[in-house]
Chains A and B, each alone.
Chain A
């Protein structure tokens, strides 16, 4: 029985184009994914640490206004309420330093956003299928 209030994906993304593309990719892949978007790190943390329904997975960009992705990851992993939510960093950064830091902080997965539009679409669809359909979450 599906809880109408439930959230599948918390997308933390400040770029409106990337957010739009992500939404379209999910629709196209026919994944009935209930998406909530946070436009900066502060909004993401406010959401996660509130009483609102926890997402099944978080897609987290790194370069965000107010509070950056690394800090969101750190705090989400540091809080009992959000410690076990799968977090996938979805970012344009392929900097060794960022990848390393994310794994140190306990990210579940790190995916570099494809530059090409078609590949981006496919990556998002693959990501959503993996984490919403295949992966068993605690929720």
Chain B
């Protein structure tokens, strides 16, 4: 029996509109049911490391990919990225920044912390849906994991 929190895609996103659009886009390739959504960095860390309200999870049930916004309440995306990439249990999980920031400084910092990929959220709706759909297919189906 699958526990809901054993998701293939962890979406870390505080904007409910972006959440809605992302889920719709992933649904085009039947991936929406495999997504778990958390709305801030603290919740993301609790989920990934199976602490707090997610203590019943097992850390080793890793998602196939973490889609991570940069600007998040409580704990920001950079901090979540750092924690994931610095822990032996989670560092091989692909992390894809999915953010509106195009700042070179943000791109640079995330690459130096070992982010797998950096995607700038398209502003235009159609492009956003297309981008997320491609993201889902790439990390959900094409990319091969060590676990």
Residues of chain A touching chain B, judged by Cβ–Cβ distance below 8 Å, are 83-84, 86, 94, 96, 99-100, 102-104, 106, 108-112, 123, 126-127, 129-130, 134-138
Q: CB within 8 A of B146: which of A103, A111, A130?
A: A103
Given contacts A130-B134, A134-B131, A111 and B120 within 8 Å (CB-CB): no
Q: Apart from A111-B142, A126-B142, list 18 A-B contacts with CB within 8 A.
A: A84-B108, A86-B117, A99-B144, A102-B146, A104-B92, A108-B117, A109-B94, A109-B117, A109-B143, A110-B143, A126-B134, A130-B138, A135-B117, A135-B119, A136-B107, A136-B118, A137-B118, A138-B107
Q: CB within 8 A of A99: which of B104, B119, B142, B145?
A: B145
B134, A134: Cβ atoms under 8 Å? yes
B146, A99: Cβ atoms under 8 Å? yes
A123 to B143, CA, bound (A): 10
Main secondary structure of the interface of B (DSSP, over half): mixed
A136 to B146, CA, bound (A): 24
List residues of chain B with CB within 8 A of the CB of A106: 114
Q: CB within 8 A of A136: which of B120, B137, B145?
A: B120
| B15 within 8 A of partner (CB) | no
Which of chain B's residues has its CB closest to A99's CB? B146
B142, A127: Cβ atoms under 8 Å? yes
A100, B146: Cβ atoms under 8 Å? yes
A123, B119: Cβ atoms under 8 Å? no
A111, B144: Cβ atoms under 8 Å? yes
A135 to B112, CA, bound (A): 16
